[in-house]
């Protein structure tokens, strides 16, 4: 947990909190306690229903959801709401899906608070990548396979995001690609262009950790088709395939249900 330097105003610090990918079981105790003590929760679109249900009924909720390539609350408006709400003296929790420091524009909101003389603290959350990897029975790093892990975004403020495609195209590389569903064909094209094998395993985990989680496994050659199968938010695990035990376990559980 990081606390900002001494505030210029005698007001409670804003708490930036990570809600995890969706399931309440992935919420940290620190975040749960912050939600229970909050007076206002300013939350994203991707915060799971199970987590939202843990917010006490009397707490005011402000939805500032954003969606890549879709309808969004402008970041400037989010910053303004955050500052104005904190200036009332309320105990504010800024609740973000996953971890607030991974592709969640945390710095921009911190800078808005600092410009207004307001303090903050950060409570990390479990990000989607390790949860999705666990869902397919895989580790994100493995001795002898990959000594590094790339965490990428499929798009940025300028559109499709350019990456170190040549480095990523090397055999045994592993990457977790956030917000890459709508840029799947672009990602595929760039990787093939820079030498990645079309047989490279690729897995999309849709709605990771939630009741409607789905796993779409294939290869780089089939990545665009996999992305079309996803109606909910999905993370792309490049270089990873589900272990054989996972589909069998899923089938067994479905049969018991």
Q: Where are the alpha helices (DSSP H) in 87-136?
A: 106-115, 128-135
Residue of 206, 140, 143 whose CA lies nearest to 175: 140
Residue of 139, 122, 142, 121 whose CA lies nearest to 130: 139
User: What's the Cα-to-Cα distance from 4 to each of 33, 73, 87, 120, rounded to whole Å?
Assistant: 20, 26, 16, 6
Residue of 52, 54, 45 whose CA lies nearest to 233: 45
Where does residue 148 rank: exposed (0-12), middle (13-18), buried (19+ CB within 10 A)?
exposed
| Rounded (5°) CA angle 80-15-96 | 75
Hey, which residues are catalytic here? 44, 66
Where does residue 196 rank: exposed (0-12), middle (13-18), buried (19+ CB within 10 A)?
buried
Half-sphere exposure of 146 (CA within 13 A, CB side): 20
Residue keyed to tokens 């607030």? 100
């Amino acid at each position: 947990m990081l606390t900002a330097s001494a505030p210029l105003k005698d007001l409670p610090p804003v708490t930036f909190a990570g809600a995890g990918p969706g399931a309440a079981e992935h919420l940290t105790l620190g975040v749960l306690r912050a939600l229970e003590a909050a007076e206002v929760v300013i939350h994203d679109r991707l915060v799971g229903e199970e987590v939202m249900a843990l917010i006490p009924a009397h707490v005011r909720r402000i939805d500032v959801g954003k969606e890549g390539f879709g309808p969004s609350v402008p970041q400037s408006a989010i910053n303004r709401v955050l500052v104005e709400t904190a200036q009332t003296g309320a105990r504010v929790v800024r609740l973000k899906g996953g971890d607030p420091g991974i592709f969640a524009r945390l710095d921009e909101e911190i800078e808005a608070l600092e410009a207004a003389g307001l303090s903050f603290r950060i409570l990390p959350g479990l990000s989607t990548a390790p949860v999705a990897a666990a869902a397919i029975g895989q580790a994100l790093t493995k001795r002898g396979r990959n000594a590094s892990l790339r965490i990428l975004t499929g798009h940025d403020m300028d559109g499709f995001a350019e990456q170190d495609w040549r480095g990523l195209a090397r055999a045994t590389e592993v990457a977790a690609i956030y917000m890459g569903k709508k840029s799947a064909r672009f990602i595929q094209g760039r990787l093939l262009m820079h030498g990645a094998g079309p047989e490279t395993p690729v897995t999309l985990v849709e709605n990771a950790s939630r009741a409607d989680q789905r796993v779409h496994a294939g290869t780089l050659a089939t990545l665009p088709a996999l992305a079309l199968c996803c109606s909910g938010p999905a993370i792309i695990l490049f270089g990873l395939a589900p272990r054989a035990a996972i589909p069998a376990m899923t089938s067994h559980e479905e049969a018991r249900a």
